[in-house]
Amino acid sequence: MQQLTSNVFVETEVRGCNFGYVTTSDGIVMIDSPHKPSVAQRVKAEIEGKGQLRYIINTEPHGDHWTGNSFFDVPVIAHEGVRTRMLNTDLDEHVARLATFGPEEPKLLEGYQFNYPVITFKNGMTMHVGDHTFQMIHMPGHTPYQAAILIKEEGVVFTSDNIFHGVQTWLHEANPDLWLVAVESLRKLDEEIFVPGHGAICGKGYLDEQGAFVLEWKEYVKGAIDQGMTRDEAVANLTKMTDRYPMDVEQDGMAPMVMRMNAGNLYDYLTGA
Ligand SMILES: [Zn+2]
Protein backbone atom coordinates (compact mmCIF):
# COMPACT_ATOMS: atom_id res chain seq x y z
CA MET A 1 0.00 0.00 0.00
CA GLN A 2 1.01 3.60 -0.59
CA GLN A 3 2.66 5.43 2.31
CA LEU A 4 0.99 8.84 2.50
CA THR A 5 2.57 10.32 5.66
CA SER A 6 4.81 8.94 8.43
CA ASN A 7 1.98 6.79 9.78
CA VAL A 8 -0.79 6.68 7.17
CA PHE A 9 -0.92 4.01 4.46
CA VAL A 10 -3.60 3.88 1.77
CA GLU A 11 -4.84 1.79 -1.15
CA THR A 12 -6.57 3.65 -3.99
CA GLU A 13 -6.09 1.28 -6.93
CA VAL A 14 -8.20 -1.80 -6.23
CA ARG A 15 -11.88 -2.59 -6.72
CA GLY A 16 -14.13 -1.01 -4.08
CA CYS A 17 -13.53 2.03 -1.93
CA ASN A 18 -10.19 3.48 -0.94
CA PHE A 19 -9.09 2.30 2.49
CA GLY A 20 -6.08 2.78 4.70
CA TYR A 21 -4.51 2.27 8.07
CA VAL A 22 -2.73 4.39 10.66
CA THR A 23 0.20 3.09 12.72
CA THR A 24 0.09 4.55 16.24
CA SER A 25 2.27 4.02 19.34
CA ASP A 26 -0.42 1.62 20.59
CA GLY A 27 -1.38 -0.43 17.56
CA ILE A 28 -3.03 0.11 14.21
CA VAL A 29 -6.39 1.60 13.21
CA MET A 30 -7.88 0.79 9.81
CA ILE A 31 -10.20 3.21 8.01
CA ASP A 32 -12.72 1.32 5.85
CA SER A 33 -11.95 -2.19 4.64
CA PRO A 34 -11.36 -3.92 1.31
CA HIS A 35 -14.30 -4.94 -0.85
CA LYS A 36 -12.64 -8.04 -2.30
CA PRO A 37 -11.86 -10.89 0.10
CA SER A 38 -8.59 -11.61 -1.72
CA VAL A 39 -7.49 -8.02 -1.17
CA ALA A 40 -8.51 -8.25 2.49
CA GLN A 41 -6.22 -11.26 2.90
CA ARG A 42 -3.31 -9.40 1.38
CA VAL A 43 -3.89 -6.33 3.57
CA LYS A 44 -4.21 -8.51 6.65
CA ALA A 45 -0.77 -9.98 6.00
CA GLU A 46 0.69 -6.52 5.46
CA ILE A 47 -0.78 -5.15 8.70
CA GLU A 48 0.33 -8.17 10.73
CA GLY A 49 3.89 -7.35 9.78
CA LYS A 50 3.55 -3.87 11.29
CA GLY A 51 1.75 -4.34 14.57
CA GLN A 52 -1.54 -5.24 16.19
CA LEU A 53 -4.75 -4.02 14.58
CA ARG A 54 -6.95 -2.40 17.24
CA TYR A 55 -10.04 -0.98 15.49
CA ILE A 56 -11.72 -0.48 12.13
CA ILE A 57 -13.60 2.76 11.44
CA ASN A 58 -16.14 2.69 8.56
CA THR A 59 -16.94 5.96 6.79
CA GLU A 60 -20.33 5.11 5.21
CA PRO A 61 -23.07 2.49 4.70
CA HIS A 62 -22.20 1.21 1.20
CA GLY A 63 -20.92 -2.35 1.17
CA ASP A 64 -17.64 -1.61 -0.55
CA HIS A 65 -16.58 0.21 2.65
CA TRP A 66 -17.40 -2.50 5.20
CA THR A 67 -17.39 -5.89 3.48
CA GLY A 68 -13.78 -6.54 4.46
CA ASN A 69 -14.43 -5.89 8.19
CA SER A 70 -15.18 -9.59 8.47
CA PHE A 71 -11.60 -10.61 7.76
CA PHE A 72 -10.32 -8.76 10.84
CA ASP A 73 -11.21 -9.74 14.41
CA VAL A 74 -11.42 -6.25 15.90
CA PRO A 75 -14.24 -3.91 17.00
CA VAL A 76 -15.76 -1.68 14.31
CA ILE A 77 -16.78 1.96 14.82
CA ALA A 78 -19.18 3.79 12.49
CA HIS A 79 -22.18 6.08 12.23
CA GLU A 80 -25.25 4.33 13.62
CA GLY A 81 -26.76 4.39 10.10
CA VAL A 82 -23.95 2.12 8.91
CA ARG A 83 -24.82 -0.46 11.55
CA THR A 84 -28.51 -0.29 10.66
CA ARG A 85 -27.71 -0.73 6.96
CA MET A 86 -25.58 -3.79 7.65
CA LEU A 87 -28.25 -5.31 9.90
CA ASN A 88 -30.70 -4.93 6.99
CA THR A 89 -28.38 -6.47 4.39
CA ASP A 90 -29.15 -10.00 3.20
CA LEU A 91 -26.09 -12.11 3.97
CA ASP A 92 -26.65 -14.73 1.25
CA GLU A 93 -27.24 -12.15 -1.48
CA HIS A 94 -24.20 -10.19 -0.33
CA VAL A 95 -21.94 -13.24 -0.41
CA ALA A 96 -23.29 -14.38 -3.80
CA ARG A 97 -22.39 -11.03 -5.34
CA LEU A 98 -18.90 -10.98 -3.81
CA ALA A 99 -18.27 -14.45 -5.19
CA THR A 100 -18.54 -13.03 -8.72
CA PHE A 101 -15.60 -10.67 -8.14
CA GLY A 102 -13.00 -13.21 -9.21
CA PRO A 103 -11.89 -16.85 -9.15
CA GLU A 104 -10.17 -16.56 -5.76
CA GLU A 105 -13.17 -15.10 -3.94
CA PRO A 106 -15.65 -17.99 -3.39
CA LYS A 107 -13.25 -20.04 -1.27
CA LEU A 108 -12.39 -17.05 0.91
CA LEU A 109 -16.10 -16.44 1.53
CA GLU A 110 -16.75 -19.79 3.22
CA GLY A 111 -18.31 -19.07 6.63
CA TYR A 112 -18.50 -15.33 5.93
CA GLN A 113 -20.34 -13.37 8.64
CA PHE A 114 -20.79 -9.60 8.94
CA ASN A 115 -18.54 -7.75 11.40
CA TYR A 116 -21.00 -5.06 12.54
CA PRO A 117 -20.06 -1.74 14.13
CA VAL A 118 -20.30 -2.21 17.92
CA ILE A 119 -19.47 1.39 18.76
CA THR A 120 -21.64 3.92 16.94
CA PHE A 121 -22.00 7.68 16.82
CA LYS A 122 -24.54 10.13 15.48
CA ASN A 123 -23.00 13.59 15.09
CA GLY A 124 -19.40 12.84 15.86
CA MET A 125 -16.89 11.16 18.10
CA THR A 126 -13.22 11.41 19.01
CA MET A 127 -11.04 8.38 19.69
CA HIS A 128 -7.50 8.42 21.10
CA VAL A 129 -5.22 5.51 20.28
CA GLY A 130 -1.59 5.81 21.40
CA ASP A 131 -0.27 9.10 20.12
CA HIS A 132 -3.01 9.57 17.53
CA THR A 133 -6.38 11.32 17.54
CA PHE A 134 -9.19 10.12 15.29
CA GLN A 135 -12.01 12.60 14.91
CA MET A 136 -15.18 11.41 13.22
CA ILE A 137 -17.55 14.07 11.90
CA HIS A 138 -20.99 13.29 10.44
CA MET A 139 -21.21 14.85 6.96
CA PRO A 140 -24.36 13.68 5.15
CA GLY A 141 -24.44 14.09 1.37
CA HIS A 142 -23.54 11.04 -0.71
CA THR A 143 -25.76 9.18 1.81
CA PRO A 144 -27.37 10.37 5.07
CA TYR A 145 -24.71 8.48 7.08
CA GLN A 146 -21.35 9.74 5.80
CA ALA A 147 -18.52 10.58 8.15
CA ALA A 148 -15.20 12.30 7.57
CA ILE A 149 -12.40 10.74 9.62
CA LEU A 150 -9.68 13.21 10.59
CA ILE A 151 -6.24 11.92 11.59
CA LYS A 152 -5.21 15.05 13.43
CA GLU A 153 -1.48 14.40 13.93
CA GLU A 154 -1.02 13.43 10.26
CA GLY A 155 -3.02 16.21 8.59
CA VAL A 156 -5.07 13.58 6.75
CA VAL A 157 -8.83 13.22 6.21
CA PHE A 158 -10.62 10.14 4.92
CA THR A 159 -13.55 11.92 3.26
CA SER A 160 -15.77 8.92 2.37
CA ASP A 161 -17.67 9.10 -0.93
CA ASN A 162 -18.40 12.80 -0.55
CA ILE A 163 -15.37 12.97 -2.86
CA PHE A 164 -14.98 10.90 -6.03
CA HIS A 165 -11.68 12.16 -7.39
CA GLY A 166 -11.61 11.94 -11.17
CA VAL A 167 -13.92 8.92 -11.29
CA GLN A 168 -17.67 8.56 -11.71
CA THR A 169 -19.74 10.16 -8.94
CA TRP A 170 -22.51 7.97 -7.54
CA LEU A 171 -25.58 9.93 -6.40
CA HIS A 172 -27.97 6.98 -6.10
CA GLU A 173 -28.62 7.74 -2.42
CA ALA A 174 -27.55 11.37 -2.35
CA ASN A 175 -29.01 14.55 -0.98
CA PRO A 176 -27.28 17.00 -3.35
CA ASP A 177 -27.88 20.04 -1.14
CA LEU A 178 -26.38 18.41 1.93
CA TRP A 179 -23.53 17.17 -0.26
CA LEU A 180 -22.71 20.79 -1.15
CA VAL A 181 -22.75 21.62 2.57
CA ALA A 182 -20.35 18.71 3.15
CA VAL A 183 -18.01 20.06 0.47
CA GLU A 184 -17.88 23.39 2.34
CA SER A 185 -17.36 21.57 5.66
CA LEU A 186 -14.37 19.75 4.16
CA ARG A 187 -12.99 23.05 2.89
CA LYS A 188 -13.02 24.48 6.43
CA LEU A 189 -10.94 21.68 7.95
CA ASP A 190 -7.34 22.33 9.00
CA GLU A 191 -6.17 19.11 7.35
CA GLU A 192 -5.00 19.39 3.73
CA ILE A 193 -4.49 15.78 2.56
CA PHE A 194 -7.68 14.08 1.44
CA VAL A 195 -8.19 10.36 0.93
CA PRO A 196 -11.34 10.41 -1.23
CA GLY A 197 -13.80 7.51 -1.18
CA HIS A 198 -12.72 6.68 -4.74
CA GLY A 199 -9.92 7.92 -7.00
CA ALA A 200 -6.41 9.16 -6.29
CA ILE A 201 -5.33 11.18 -3.24
CA CYS A 202 -6.30 14.84 -3.53
CA GLY A 203 -6.67 18.06 -1.58
CA LYS A 204 -8.95 21.05 -1.18
CA GLY A 205 -8.21 22.07 -4.77
CA TYR A 206 -10.61 19.37 -5.99
CA LEU A 207 -13.58 20.53 -3.89
CA ASP A 208 -14.75 23.13 -6.43
CA GLU A 209 -14.91 20.51 -9.18
CA GLN A 210 -16.72 17.98 -6.97
CA GLY A 211 -19.25 20.55 -5.79
CA ALA A 212 -19.83 21.88 -9.32
CA PHE A 213 -20.47 18.37 -10.63
CA VAL A 214 -23.03 17.57 -7.91
CA LEU A 215 -24.77 20.87 -8.67
CA GLU A 216 -24.69 20.16 -12.42
CA TRP A 217 -26.29 16.76 -11.83
CA LYS A 218 -29.05 18.38 -9.80
CA GLU A 219 -29.70 21.04 -12.44
CA TYR A 220 -29.70 18.44 -15.22
CA VAL A 221 -32.44 16.38 -13.58
CA LYS A 222 -34.33 19.52 -12.57
CA GLY A 223 -34.35 20.51 -16.26
CA ALA A 224 -36.06 17.22 -17.14
CA ILE A 225 -38.67 17.74 -14.43
CA ASP A 226 -39.28 21.30 -15.64
CA GLN A 227 -39.86 19.92 -19.16
CA GLY A 228 -42.59 17.70 -17.73
CA MET A 229 -40.79 14.34 -17.93
CA THR A 230 -42.12 11.57 -15.71
CA ARG A 231 -39.67 9.67 -13.53
CA ASP A 232 -39.58 6.78 -16.01
CA GLU A 233 -38.96 9.14 -18.90
CA ALA A 234 -36.18 10.93 -17.04
CA VAL A 235 -34.48 7.65 -16.12
CA ALA A 236 -34.76 6.42 -19.73
CA ASN A 237 -33.79 9.64 -21.52
CA LEU A 238 -31.15 11.34 -19.40
CA THR A 239 -27.81 9.93 -20.49
CA LYS A 240 -25.19 12.65 -20.74
CA MET A 241 -23.64 12.88 -17.26
CA THR A 242 -21.65 9.67 -17.07
CA ASP A 243 -19.32 10.41 -19.98
CA ARG A 244 -17.30 12.98 -17.99
CA TYR A 245 -15.27 10.62 -15.82
CA PRO A 246 -14.14 7.00 -16.10
CA MET A 247 -15.70 4.40 -13.84
CA ASP A 248 -13.56 3.38 -10.86
CA VAL A 249 -11.45 0.18 -10.89
CA GLU A 250 -13.26 -2.94 -12.21
CA GLN A 251 -16.55 -1.06 -12.68
CA ASP A 252 -16.40 -1.01 -16.49
CA GLY A 253 -19.81 -1.28 -18.13
CA MET A 254 -21.64 0.03 -15.06
CA ALA A 255 -21.98 3.65 -16.24
CA PRO A 256 -25.50 3.27 -17.76
CA MET A 257 -26.76 1.73 -14.50
CA VAL A 258 -25.18 4.53 -12.45
CA MET A 259 -26.77 7.06 -14.80
CA ARG A 260 -30.24 5.55 -14.24
CA MET A 261 -29.83 5.21 -10.48
CA ASN A 262 -28.51 8.75 -10.06
CA ALA A 263 -31.25 10.23 -12.24
CA GLY A 264 -33.99 8.32 -10.43
CA ASN A 265 -32.76 9.31 -6.98
CA LEU A 266 -32.38 12.99 -7.90
CA TYR A 267 -35.83 12.96 -9.53
CA ASP A 268 -37.33 11.66 -6.28
CA TYR A 269 -35.36 14.16 -4.23
CA LEU A 270 -36.39 17.14 -6.36
CA THR A 271 -40.06 16.14 -6.51
CA GLY A 272 -40.22 15.25 -2.82
CA ALA A 273 -41.25 11.67 -3.64
ZN1 LIG B 1 -20.71 5.09 -1.33
How many angstroms does the Cα of residue 60 sit away from the middle of ligand 1?
7
Distance 67 CA to ligand 1 centre (A): 12
DSSP labels for 200-251? S-B-GGGHHHHHHHHHHHHHHHHHHHHTT--HHHHHHH--GGGGSS---TT-
Instruction: Report the separation in Å between the CA atom of 83 and the middle of ligand 1, taken as the mean of its atom positions.
Output: 15
Sheet (strand 156-165) strand order? 124-129, 132-138, 147-151, 156-165, 193-199
Distance 161 CA to ligand 1 centre (A): 5
**Rounded distance from Cα 176 to ligand 1 centre (Å):** 14
Strand partners, 196: 160
Domain span at residue 141?
2-271
Instruction: Please determine, for residue 248, whether its predicted confidence score (pLDDT) is greater than 90.
Output: no
pLDDT in tens, 36-63: 999 999 999 999 999 999 999 999 999 9
CATH number at residue 216: 3.60.15.10
How many angstroms is it from 25 CA to the middle of ligand 1?
Answer: 31
In angstroms, the CA 150 to CA 155 distance is: 8
| C-alpha of residue 142 to centroid of ligand 1, in Å | 7
Residues whose beta carbons lie less than 5 angstroms from ion ligand 1: 62, 161
Tens digit of each residue's pLDDT (9 = 90 or more) over 132-186: 999 999 999 999 999 999 999 999 999 999 999 999 999 999 999 999 999 999 9
Q: Which residues pair with 11 in a beta bridge?
A: 19
CB 35 within 8 Å of CB 17: yes
The domain tally of the chain equals 1
Residue 69's nearest CA partner among 50, 88, 82 is 82
Ligand 1 mean position, distance from CA 130 (Å): 30
